[in-house]
Amino acid sequence: MAASMALCRLHMRGKFVLERSLQRADAFLQRSLVTEAVSAEDEAARKLDPGVNGRKSLRSLQQERREQAERSVLVSCGSTTERKFLKFLSRHGDVSKCFFYESYGVYAVVEFSGRDGVASLLEAASIPSASHEATLPFKSRLLSFRTLGAGGPAAPAGLKLQPQTAVPINELIQRLSRQDSIDQQVSSLVEAYQLTEENIRLRFLVCSLLKDVAAAYFPECSVKPFGSSVNGFGKLGCDLDMFLDLDGLSGLDVKPPKSGPSLEFQMKRASSERAVTQSVLSVVGECVDQFAPGCVGVQKILNARCPLVRFAHQPSGFQCDLTANNRVAMKSTELLYLFGELDPRVRALVFTVRCWARAHGVTSSIPGAWISNFSLTVMVLFFLQRRSPALLPTLDRLRELAGPADRSVLDGSDCSFTSDFGRIGPGTNTETAEQLLVAFFDFYSSFPFSRASISIRKGREQSKPEVAPLHIQNPFETSLNVSKNVNASQLDRFVALCQESSWLLQQRETVTPGGGNAPAPWGLAALLQPSQVAGIKTRKRRRTEPASQRIKSLLESLKNQNHQKKS
Amino acid sequence: MAASMALCRLHMRGKFVLERSLQRADAFLQRSLVTEAVSAEDEAARKLDPGVNGRKSLRSLQQERREQAERSVLVSCGSTTERKFLKFLSRHGDVSKCFFYESYGVYAVVEFSGRDGVASLLEAASIPSASHEATLPFKSRLLSFRTLGAGGPAAPAGLKLQPQTAVPINELIQRLSRQDSIDQQVSSLVEAYQLTEENIRLRFLVCSLLKDVAAAYFPECSVKPFGSSVNGFGKLGCDLDMFLDLDGLSGLDVKPPKSGPSLEFQMKRASSERAVTQSVLSVVGECVDQFAPGCVGVQKILNARCPLVRFAHQPSGFQCDLTANNRVAMKSTELLYLFGELDPRVRALVFTVRCWARAHGVTSSIPGAWISNFSLTVMVLFFLQRRSPALLPTLDRLRELAGPADRSVLDGSDCSFTSDFGRIGPGTNTETAEQLLVAFFDFYSSFPFSRASISIRKGREQSKPEVAPLHIQNPFETSLNVSKNVNASQLDRFVALCQESSWLLQQRETVTPGGGNAPAPWGLAALLQPSQVAGIKTRKRRRTEPASQRIKSLLESLKNQNHQKKS
């Protein structure tokens, strides 16, 4: 690979970068360039923030990633060798990053060191000609690499493929069983589940491709990932939540003069901001459906509380949700990111608890009365705030530390908190991941759910403002309960499972590492195995509930709670 | 006006043209610029064709007009004076043309001498802020000029307004009655009805604004007016037929190499070219409906033989039809344009006959069993080919004269004909407009409609290939009858009216100019007055037909014949 890259750089300075083709292809990229011009705010953020101990603010991280993504293309590779492929690409520019993965065929993410590389590549690309009469000629940075050699298509060429999905639970259990301590098991789980560098690049690239669609009408817009793709708690294979940001539009801040003549754009009006969001998503969704290659199963869910367009992006394998005007969710993402970056044990515990919860059906990929990943994460954060000494500060404390640049009021809610790691300072808690895990199960085994509400803003139990089995205060819209979907039986299951796991971790046979080549599951691995107490109970209840009832409640929650799972 | 323009030019070179704002606003115009790059073909056509006796090919004329339109903006003026308005504009660039008209308020078409004028203007424009939360922030070249003076809105400022609709028939009759000869009447009618320079500019500007919408997804597309807007026979106020042309896309002509690697855009497929057209029009129509300011009543008529999007463009007052992939209609337009430019008597006679036909209900703006304007025009052309000596060449002759660049085969039909006026040469027919008008009515008073088909390709009667009251061969798709919608009673009316008009033109009292200030209608004016023979007859028949039957036939013809009226 290193040799091939050097080869690329050599070629790049060669005769292949044609002035003429650049000029012409440049036009293609102009829409994307606009964003760069208006994101001066982001740029300033990046420069001001060199990072504390290598930890950067989410905003500057996003800006870097977006910029990388705009220099990248996604290529279906067919059968080739890495060497041949890179040699071809290097005719168009210096390739700064390239990796391969599999999803409905083999794809490559190719990042050039400059936009002119992309421009040159697109200039050389052809519109599929064999059947061009029935091709929708919408050009994008999603391409196919063809090799028509004398010998016909070659055999698969043994490219190194980067995994884009998490290992199956059984494989994970085996892997964890081979570790020597529970702390090592936790690290190994995080390692296996967390988003890879490549997966994050791919997510930003898909956002960037979608931005090209939206930028068609709103040249100054941006499409930003939020939620698990960027909050630090995402698992390989998780959905890609995106947010179409129109606030960067120039002309919004142009104030007409008090006197004298001025010009205004004529624009269509809508009855409300919500109606505008619906219109914009409707047209963008229509275009994704009709034009955008690789996007299938497009659903416009415009009447949801938070209108969205849902689709599958086949080349990346991502299930995508595009929303607009969803700033509180973005703030939520920033907060989780901040907590996750403050101490490595935060992400370790969140990943572990989420994996454990999923293994026992506490959480689910289907909307319903289950505890959501976001709720579960808030429960972990709350638990860490309640340690003595506290492992995490309260949100109120983070708000106190906020500087003028951090001030933010959205929809009437105060969403201010510092994003400066330097201001927060290190904590004094020294517990190990194992100790924290045990303590977590103990904590929620005996939590007074019936009367107390969980509040990471205050960092201590609050009295419940309303009747609901599980009450977790929304960190920003504090009058809302993020877990109002959870019913009593699901909460009971969660508590029973906590009790069971707490009990298991007190048993000598559970906490003693196994031996040999295929050791029996122990420690964390044992916790991930089917439960003795809670599994059968629930399966019974679900069987007795009529199917129509279950489907009805699924549909209801899909409609009402779409906004909740975006964290 | 001249003084104001001089003032503009003076200002333009001043301090107001800011480098910075240009850079930023330039991004906005980039999509349009692309067209310029790919229309090298058009550019070549323009350079090769300096025009014969000032007559240019339609293609080079269109190219010039398109280029003008891309340097133009459409501004709602409110109340201002021309001087103030131009002074304001001149801050942004040299204004090469500016005129005012009324349509749902007063508007101005402003053409800058360069694109940077438009860029600077847009940079300075604000997004309506009072209610920006409910504004769809789609920026276009449709703007509003506001004057917020100390004294509040001024009174209407007496701007010179250019008419954009034809004079009413009664006013026309009065005007014609004051002329001294029938030839003068014909000239006066053409003068009153034909599209003005300003109206043509406005049409191209609306196309250009719509191109900005479509260029969002297809940066290299163009939107071209066709039919009466550009064929030389359009009447002020006629519909604006537009054609979204995607054939200029680069990459269509890029042939993948026979061997070795190559790149292809990944693109969505559709089952047919028709399905592609439907998809494209659907998305563009959706955007026009949701975003484009001033566009109302958007209807997607995608299942018509020629799929189209219909809408009213309020700022221009045009009823618009947008089609795609409609190249035969474009050829038809070129042919009519060529015939019209060959001899001024062609347009004189076509305008006169169309006006006469409309006055007597032979043609109608509603689809139905009426003779279409296109059919009527072909009948006039055929009549002029049948004169002795012929006033117009046959289409077969024009095809013989075609050079290699004129070759064109569309959907299997030979659509080649010369566009070089020099090759055709002047005819020897010297009849006056009056003589031709008399001869026209005589010709069709006794035309053997029952057995003969009208063919401008052959320039002589053909035997009818199928049963239809009126058979007019489609000039390009020669197996089709362009007047298959016409029923026997409508044809009978037409013949009766020709006979009546022929008789009237033989009466001394008809052909003698009136005297005094308000002379009685005479000559052509007399022909435009309600008929004695045909009017009542038809009104009776239409009354006896059940309304439901009429509506049904209207809907049928709307569905089937949309493509026919595009000429």
pLDDT digits (tens, 9 = 90+) for A232-251: 999 999 999 999 988 877 76
* pLDDT tens per residue across span A424-437: 988 899 999 999 99
Query: What is the end-to-end Cα distance of chain B in Å, rounded?
Result: 37
Among B28, B142, B287, select the one facing A217 at the smallest CB separation: B287
Cβ contact A144–B266 (<8 Å): yes
Contacts of B323 by beta carbon, 8 Å cutoff, 6+ apart: B241, B242, B243, B244, B281, B306, B307, B308, B329, B566
Instruction: For residue B443, tell me if it sits in a domain.
Output: yes
Contacts of A533 by beta carbon, 8 Å cutoff, 6+ apart: A496, A497, A499, A500
CATH number at residue A367: 1.10.1410.10
> What pLDDT is recorded for position B325?
77
Residue A455 has pLDDT above 80, yes or no: yes
Select from B262, B294, B327 the last residue of a domain: B327
> What pLDDT is recorded for position B38?
34
d(C-alpha A213, C-alpha A210), whole Å: 5
d(C-alpha A436, C-alpha A438), whole Å: 5
Range in A189-193, A403-407, B35-39 the model is least confident about: B35-39
DSSP three-state, residue A410:
strand
Cα-flanking dihedrals φ and ψ of residue A28, to 5°? -65, -30
Cα B340 to Cα A330, B58, B349, B461, distances in angstroms = 63, 11, 10, 22
Optimal mutation site among A33, A136, A284, interface B, most CBs of chain B within 10 A: A136
CB B55 within 8 A of CB B420: no
Which residues in chain A touch residue B136, judged by CB atoms under 8 angstroms apart? 267-270, 276, 279-280
The verdict on B361 and B490 lying in the same domain is yes
Select from A128, A144, A160 the last residue of a domain: A144
Residue A153 has pLDDT above 50, yes or no: no
The verdict on B531 and B517 lying in the same domain is yes
The verdict on B375 and B492 lying in the same domain is yes
Contacts of A558 by beta carbon, 8 Å cutoff, 6+ apart: A367
> What pLDDT is recorded for position B47?
46
CB A323 within 8 A of CB A240: no
Q: Which of residues 99-128 of A touch B (CB under 8 A)?
A: 121, 123-128
Is B410 part of the contact surface with chain A (CB cutoff 8 Å)? no
ipTM of the modeled complex:
0.78
The verdict on B422 and B464 lying in the same domain is yes
Which residues in chain B touch residue A80, judged by CB atoms under 8 angstroms apart? 261
Q: Which of A256, A259, A257, A266 is nearest to B152 (CA)?
A: A259
Instruction: For residue B115, tell me if it sits in a domain.
Output: no
d(C-alpha A39, C-alpha A220), whole Å: 9
Is B154 part of the contact surface with chain A (CB cutoff 8 Å)? no
Instruction: For residue B36, tell me if it sits in a domain.
Output: no
The verdict on B493 and B539 lying in the same domain is yes
Cβ contact A146–B246 (<8 Å): no
CB neighbour burial string for B98-135, b if at least 16 within 10 angstroms, e if fewer: bbbbebeebbbbbbbeebbbbbbbbbbbbbbeeebebb
At residue B534's C-alpha, the angle toward residues B532 and B535, to 5°, is: 80
Instruction: For residue A218, tell me if it sits in a domain.
Output: no
d(C-alpha A122, C-alpha B143), whole Å: 35
Among B31, B125, B292, select the one facing A263 at the smallest CB separation: B125
d(C-alpha B362, C-alpha B384), whole Å: 20
Instruction: For residue A396, tell me if it sits in a domain.
Output: yes
Contacts of B534 by beta carbon, 8 Å cutoff, 6+ apart: B360, B493, B496, B497, B500
* pLDDT tens per residue across span A21-66: 333 333 333 433 333 333 444 444 444 444 556 678 888 889 999 9
Beta bridge mates, A194: A235
* pLDDT tens per residue across span A110-122: 999 999 999 999 9
The verdict on B190 and B231 lying in the same domain is no
- The model's confidence at residue A133, banded by pLDDT at 50, 70 and 90, is low
Which residues in chain B touch residue A282, judged by CB atoms under 8 angstroms apart? 286, 290
d(C-alpha B562, C-alpha A89), whole Å: 49
User: Which residue in this structure is represented by tokens 């000239």?
Assistant: B187
Cβ contact A269–B76 (<8 Å): no
Mean pLDDT, range A178-205, rounded to an integer: 95
Is A257 part of the contact surface with chain B (CB cutoff 8 Å)? yes
Can you read off the two tokens belonging to residue A475?
């960190």
What parts of chain B have a pLDDT lower than 50? 1-50, 132, 150-155, 536-545, 550, 554, 558, 561-567
Strands (E), A314-456: 318-324, 409-410, 413-414, 452-453
Cα-flanking dihedrals φ and ψ of residue A94, to 5°? -75, 120
- Which helix (H) or strand (E) element contains residue B265? strand B260-265
Contacts of A191 by beta carbon, 8 Å cutoff, 6+ apart: none
> What pLDDT is recorded for position B149?
53
DSSP three-state, residue A493:
helix
The verdict on B287 and B355 lying in the same domain is no
Q: What share of chain B is helix, strand, coil (3-state, %, to 5)?
A: 45, 15, 40
Which residues in chain A touch residue B266, judged by CB atoms under 8 angstroms apart? 76, 140, 142-144, 293-294, 315
d(C-alpha B514, C-alpha A460), whole Å: 102
Q: Which of B137, B145, B101, B157 is nearest to B121 (CA)?
A: B145
Is B409 part of the contact surface with chain A (CB cutoff 8 Å)? no
Q: Which of A493, A237, A456, A474 is nearest to A369 (CA)?
A: A493
Instruction: For residue B136, tell me if it sits in a domain.
Output: no
The verdict on B435 and B547 lying in the same domain is yes
Which residues in chain B touch residue A300, judged by CB atoms under 8 angstroms apart? none
Which residues in chain B touch residue A28, judged by CB atoms under 8 angstroms apart? 34, 219
The domain of A22 spans 2-144
Among B143, B149, B219, select the one facing A263 at the smallest CB separation: B143
Can you read off the two tokens belonging to residue A524?
């964390």
Number of domains in chain A: 2
The verdict on B422 and B476 lying in the same domain is yes
Cα-flanking dihedrals φ and ψ of residue B243, to 5°? -135, 115
Cβ contact A137–B218 (<8 Å): yes
CB B387 within 8 A of CB B438: no
- Classify burial at A171, counting beta carbons within 10 Å of its beta carbon; exposed 0-12, middle 13-18, buried 19 or more: exposed
Among A147, A150, A280, select the one facing B261 at the smallest CB separation: A147
Cα-flanking dihedrals φ and ψ of residue A99, to 5°? -145, 160
Query: Mean pLDDT for chain A?
Result: 83
The verdict on B311 and B362 lying in the same domain is no
The verdict on B291 and B392 lying in the same domain is no
Instruction: For residue B182, tell me if it sits in a domain.
Output: yes
Q: Which of A218, A212, A213, A246 is nearest to A69 (CA)?
A: A212
Whether the link from the prior residue into B546 is cis, omega within 30° of 0, is: no
Select from B327, B345, B371 the last residue of a domain: B327
- Which helix (H) or strand (E) element contains residue A183? helix A182-193
Instruction: For residue A244, tell me if it sits in a domain.
Output: no
**Residue of chain A nearest B265, judged by CA positions:** A143
Cβ contact A124–B258 (<8 Å): no
Is B150 part of the contact surface with chain A (CB cutoff 8 Å)? yes
- Which helix (H) or strand (E) element contains residue A100? strand A95-102
The verdict on B234 and B182 lying in the same domain is no
